[in-house]
Structure 1
């Protein structure tokens, strides 16, 4: 697989297998970095992991865009990621503040709903078996 295509392009399609592999790698990497940072400096992990998630945002969106394309849906569905990005970057910090508790809960609920939608559509549902508006199926439609 061409990693440049996978991580930097918003064109084309990928199957569920590639989407799952990306997400497992992504969260495993974030978990390992968070654990390593927490062992060295516990307070730093709270801020370092959201920064790392923002750095990895572009490749994450590129992979997700291709999965939406496999479902014959436009990149506009990437807007469902906005609450997830806010949740990954702001909720851990706002939870530390007393005034941010209510806002944190609301953002968490919205992020949960959007995350579930993305999970079902991109992780569980099969893509178009034939050519669609975004090109030919990846891996002959087997993913």
Structure 2
């Protein structure tokens, strides 16, 4: 599958292998551009200066506020992410809009201040359930929904043969041709 069709078209089907490859590549490029922009806008990161490149790459941005740079790049990379999600859902003969909704809800996580979950946990530890429970519940809902999306897109096989969204990406039109 070519670059433009994979990342910018909502038509057709995408097999699991291609979804994994494109998704990992998109994640790495998005994360790298976010971290470089964070470093340029916010100054040197202590993890980067100490040579902790793994922590710099996968860690949170400095500061306790919302991760505005991460949100900005999530919006820049939103179209390719949605294209991959929808084409993978099409391979399973589904429209996929519930998976898009999950992705958009997870993207709102960048608006949550970095220490919000920690503060909610401290409130729950102090028996102040009304202060901490809503944030923790939202976090658990996002985790469960993201795991559902991850399993559906990354592990469940597509429908064999052609379906309403196009030809079978693993081979010709009939699954028997591939296995014969």
Q: Normalising by structure 1, report the TM-score.
A: 0.80
Which segments of 5 or more consecutive residues in structure 1 lack a partner in the other structure?
Answer: none
Matches within 5 A, 1:80-95: 80-87=102-109, 89-92=110-113, 95=116
Which segments of 5 or more consecutive residues in structure 2 lack a partner in the other structure?
Answer: 46-61, 121-130
Larger radius of gyration: 2
Question: Comparing both chains, which one has the higher relative contact order based on Cα–Cα distances under 8 Å and sequence gaps of 6 or more?
Answer: 1
Q: Aligned to 1:68, which of 74, 89, 96?
A: 89
Q: Cα–Cα, structure 1 residues 102 and 27, in superposed 2: closer, same or farther, change >3 Å? A: farther
Question: Which region of structure 1 is more displaced relative to structure 2, 69-78 or 36-45?
Answer: 36-45
DSSP 3-state at the match of 1:120? helix
Shift of 1:26: 1.9
Shift of 1:27: 1.8
Q: Normalising by structure 2, report the TM-score.
A: 0.66
Structure with greater proportional helix content = 1
Deviation digits for residues 27-61 of structure 1 (CA, Å, limit 9, x no counterpart): 21233234334444254893212110111111100
Q: What is the RMSD computed on CA atoms of the aligned residues?
A: 2.9
Shift of 1:75: 3.1
Matches within 5 A, 1:2-17: 2-17=2-17
Correspondence for 1:111: 142
Shift of 1:115: 0.8
